Homo-oligomer: A and B are copies of this chain.
Amino acid sequence: MGNILILYDSATGNTRQMAEFVASGAKSQNHNIRLKSIQQANKDDIIWCNGVAVGSPTNMGIVSWKMKKFWDKLGDELWGKIDGKIGCAFSSSGGWGGGAEITCQSILTILINFGFLVFGVTDYVDKNLTLHYGSVVAGEPRSESEKESCRRLGEKLSLWVSNIITDSKDENM
């Protein structure tokens, strides 16, 4: 049994809604789940988790400054000490083509920098929607397939965490 953190920043509530669906999907395996905004989360949540899904609004194609601040501050104490966790990304943008994929990529870049193993999902949740670099939605997650995209990310995170928790906990903190 492992520990999974869904960590989000949300300005309009759209990314928060995504986070809830991701959390719902993450329950597919028998792990402990924490759903927290960056206002609620702290370094202990990061140390605690074996896997994390990080969500941010799409702001100029890069993770929001508030989410970046969270990880920049965290780095002062934890960087280099928490390698080997699993990570993934999700983002809500103003429209398709607005940078949600690239924002997910910026989140993955941060997580890779921390030594995490990051992933996307090959599944199509609808004939026109997938989540190859993390879940992306234009606006709020309204359609069933958009909600399923978020849940699927959580499910996959949950699955990969099951695969690695045996050993990696021993080596890292």
Contact = CB atoms under 8 A, between A and B. Distances in A.
A135 interface: yes
Dominant secondary structure of chain A at its interface with chain B = mixed
Q: How many copies does the complex hold?
A: 4
Contact of A110 (B62, B130, B134, B136): B62
A80 B132 CA distance: 11
Interface string A140-173: 0000000001000000000110111011100100
B114 A117 contact: no
A128 interface: yes
Contacts of A80: 122-123
A105 interface: yes
Interface in A48-82: 59-66, 68-69, 71-72, 75, 79-80
